[in-house]
Each structure stands twice: as structure tokens, then as C-alpha cells.
Amino acid sequence: MYEKRKKQSSFPWGLTQNKAVKFFSTFFVGAILMCFMPAAKFPQRKIDKIQTIVLDAGHGGEDTGAPGIKGSREFLEKEVTLDLALRLGKIIEEKMPEVRVLYTRKSDKSVKLWERPNFANRNEADLFISIHCNANNNPKAHGSETYFMGLHVNEGNLDVAKRENAAITYEADYRDNDRYGGFDPNSPESHIIFSLVQNAYMNQSLRLSSYVETETGKISQIRSRGVKQAGFLVLWKTSMPSILVETGFITNPEDRKYLASDEGRNTIANGIFKAIENYKSFVEKTPQ
């Protein structure tokens, strides 16, 4: 009976022994290299008031993101994320006129991954929210997830980060761009090492992420899969609380239908807005 039992890996992230040896060798080299990785030029700020919010519609241009059905171009992630960002921005502008809303893109155009956080930093944003749709080879996978920058605690989180970080390959010069510190999107070890980078606003980002999943979960037909952490290039160098919202699985028929509807998009946008409202209230009422 014992011999027939499937042997479980004792290594993290589901690595095999050979892969683990390779990973830990890479890890120690990477840990040293991380000391020399370019850091953000923007120092940590004391944020006690929400005055500027940057909304980042994921993907764009030739980077279409995930298609709703394998091989289909009729329903693309880049279109859903842009529409959701614009709807959310409109709600914020109407209900919080004192808050300035900025967008990394307001049309179907390409925006490099490094430019997105850099844009938020230059404008001294108080919140950065990157909007995406999830995807999985298993069409039964469904639900929303909100991420903040941190360690990949399981293989699923790593897979999401790898898919989103793959957008870097649309940049012809990414291999030579020192803004990425030598990050290799094709290397699992690179993703794992990169996830060890900590964001100075981790606690605030965790709080905002929790608000997003709680508020959207109350009103959306897309169930919440909870708050998670992983290493995303788009969140790496932000100098403010930053989150990445996976609004639902574009590869799941039910999630896809909801994401395609006006009702679904309005509900999701309103849920995220309510989370921002809760976070703003907390920050501005909490003694600093």
C-alpha cells in the first residue's frame, strides 16, 4: 500500500529535486544580484490623503491579453480591461470630484510595463490599480482575485504572474532594458526570485486588496477567490499602495458572459469603487 502512494514533493512551489537544486543555485546568485537591481528613484511617501488615483487598463495594442476562447479574437482581455478602467474612472470622477483620476491608457494602444508604474510615480499617485482578466487552460476555473506585490505562495499564483509578466515580450528591447534588472520572463527561477522583492506599501496594498474582494464579492455574480500575492512587474516599482485586480476568468463561460455584459461591468466597477471609498475613508480618518 505504501509503495503505491504518490510521492509528494518536499520542495517549495512543487519543484522536483533536480529543479530544486537548479533553483536554489540560481536563488543564491539571484539574491546577490537583487542587491544591484535598479530601485525606484521615488522615495517612500507618507500618504495620508487620497488625491490622485492611477487606473491601469492591462495590455493594449498588439498585446491583446487573453482571448475568451482559445484562438478567438472576438472577445479580448485588453478590451474588457479598458472598458472597466474607463467605467471605474467615471464613477470616481462623479462621486469623488476632489480626486484626480489618471489613466495609463484611454485607448487601444501599447504601453510598456515599466511605463505604467513610472507614470504613477511621476504624478505622485496615492493609489495604483491595474485591471486584468484571468485565464486558464481549464475552462472550469472561475472567480475574481486581487493581488499585491509579494511572494508566490503556490504554483497557481506563480502561473498568473508569469502570464501577466509575459507582456514584457512585446517590448523589443526588454532584454537590454536595465529598468527590468535582467528579468527573464522565460525563467521560472527568475519569477520566483523576483517575487521576493518587497513593496514598501505592502500592508496598505493588502488592505485595499481585501476591500476589493469583499465589496465586489457582495454584489458581483463572479465569486471571490480571495486576496493573493505574487511578483508582478507592473507593481514592482510603484511608490504608492498598488494592486492588480483579476476581475474574472475570461476563459470561463459564466465569468466571460458576465464580463461581456453592461450589468457585469458596471457591477464590478462599482465594487472596486466602493473598495476605494472604504480605503480612502480609512486612510483619511486614521492618525498618521
Q: At what angle do helices 262-285 and 202-219 cross, to 10 degrees?
A: 140
Q: What pLDDT score does 28 carry?
A: 47
Residue 171 maps to a domain: yes
DSSP 8-state symbol, 67: B
Q: Say which residue, 70 or 27, is predicted with more confidence.
A: 70
| CATH number of the domain within which 240 lies | 3.40.630.40
127 CB-contact burial (10 Å; exposed 0-12 / middle 13-18 / buried 19+): buried
pTM across the whole model: 0.82
Residue 36 lies in a domain: no
For 5-17, what is each residue's pLDDT tens digit? Answer: 434 444 444 545 5
In a domain, 91, yes or no: yes
Please state, in angstroms and rounded to a whole number, the distance separating the CA atoms of residues 150 and 76.
27
- Could you read off the pLDDT of 78-94 as tens digits, one per residue? 999 999 999 999 999 99
Q: How far is CA 242 from CA 31, 71, 188, in A?
A: 24, 32, 24
**Residue 66 within a domain:** yes
β-strand 144-149 against 100-103: which pairing, if any?
unpaired
Q: CA-to-CA distance for 106 and 8, rounded, in angstroms?
A: 48
The pLDDT value given to residue 157: 82
Q: What are the beta bridge partners of residue 102?
A: 54
Q: Is residue 122 part of a domain?
A: yes
Give the β-pairing of 127-134 and 242-249.
parallel
Residues 243, 208 contacting (CB under 8 angstroms): yes
Q: Is 3 exposed, middle or buried (0-12, 13-18, 19+ CB in 10 A)?
A: exposed
CB 220 within 8 Å of CB 144 = yes
Question: pLDDT band at 69, cuts 50/70/90?
Answer: low
123 domain residue, yes or no: yes
Residue 27 lies in a domain: no
Structural domain count of the chain: 1
pLDDT confidence of residue 194: 66
Which structural domain, as residue segments, surrounds residue 123?
51-285
Evaluate whether residue 225 is within a structural domain: yes
CB 26 within 8 A of CB 189: yes
Stretch among 222-226, 270-274, 283-287 having the lowest mean pLDDT: 283-287
- Residues 33-55 have a mean pLDDT of 70
What is the reported pLDDT for 171? 85
How confident is the model over 146-155, as a mean pLDDT? 80
Q: Identify the weakest region by mean pLDDT among 23-32, 43-52, 62-71, 90-99.
A: 23-32
Give the pLDDT mean for 178-196: 73
Q: What is the pLDDT of residues 233-274, one digit of tens each?
A: 899 889 999 999 999 999 999 999 999 999 999 999 999 999
Q: Cα–Cα distance between 115 and 36 in angstroms, integer?
A: 21
pLDDT band at residue 19 using 50, 70 and 90 as cut-offs: low
Q: 201-232 as b/e, with b when 16 or more CB fall inside 10 Å? A: beebbbbbbbbbbbbbbeebebebbebbbbbb
Whether the Cβ atoms of residue 256 and residue 161 lie closer than 8 Å to each other: no
Cβ-based neighbour number of residue 121 at 10 Å: 19
